[in-house]
Structure 1
Amino acid sequence: MLVALTVVLVAGCGWVVFRSVVRVRPDERVVVERGGRFDRVLEPGTHWVVPFVQRARLRVDTRPQEVALPARERRTADGLGVVASARLVYRVVDARSATYAVPHLPSAIAQLAGTTLDVALEGTTADSAVRDGHGLRRELLAVLSDTVRPWGVDVHSVEVVVGSS
């Protein structure tokens, strides 16, 4: 009986110590919550959290991420259709904002980029959209950078490919 109790206590203590240690890789940050509310962001290294009180809610990847908008027909100001696609590269710079500002960051960025591309194309003619892809790229980069900055994200690059349909 005493041996079984000792084994259970040692296993329980080992489990608590195992749950207390959080290792954070150099390319990620970990958001810690205490009682369901934000407590802190763990930087790379080994950290201790208080089991049953604090929990590592989310591991946020800080490496550059890519979002690709598939080619599809979009309308321009002159009523003609063009086939446009885009690819953007972003990086999370603030793990707290990226966790709490929007529910699902990659899909929010993709939806915003698609809407912004549609609006930019609606303000130009099909001919100028096909000829001046750099202007669309600059406009997309400016709008996306300003909009996602409060989300803790930095947009590195945007590529736009426009062709006539």
Structure 2
Amino acid sequence: MNDMPSTLESADIARILKALPHRYPFLMVDRVTGMRADEFAIGIKNVTANEPQFMGHFPDNPVFPGVLMIEGMAQTAGVLCICSGATGDTVKSVFFLTVDKAKFRKQVTPGDTIEYHMTKIARKKMMWWYRGEARVQGALVAEAEVGAMIVNA
């Protein structure tokens, strides 16, 4: 019998910081909403002009790097796995296994809010695979499939 909760609702920044080891400037998710067990969640990232990546990417035309959107997808999935209770009660670390089928469709700039829509594809022991779609105002800006392993810290 599966005793994981079917709906977790959301994780605010305090809960995210408890779940993930990432900190500024590499924390790419501000809130996670719509959490359903380890199946689905939406990570929220508010893109602001004062973030350090914009000093070099690009000074006169700030564009949020695609690789950081992939990282935001992975962090959202990590919060989902850890907060769902699927990993047990001990502190865990999340490590990337794979990134597949990554596509970048539109630029993201300061002032945008990225939504990382993460849907579980598969799970095997302590490894998960998710399909992610990054959206800004409903428009698809990036997509990828990511895999991660959760291990004891």
State if a TM-score over 0.5 links the two structures. no
**Between structures 1 and 2, the one with greater helix share:** 1
Answer 1 or 2: higher relative contact order, Cα 8 Å, separation at least 6.
2
The higher radius of gyration belongs to 1
| TM-score normalised by the chain length of structure 2 | 0.31
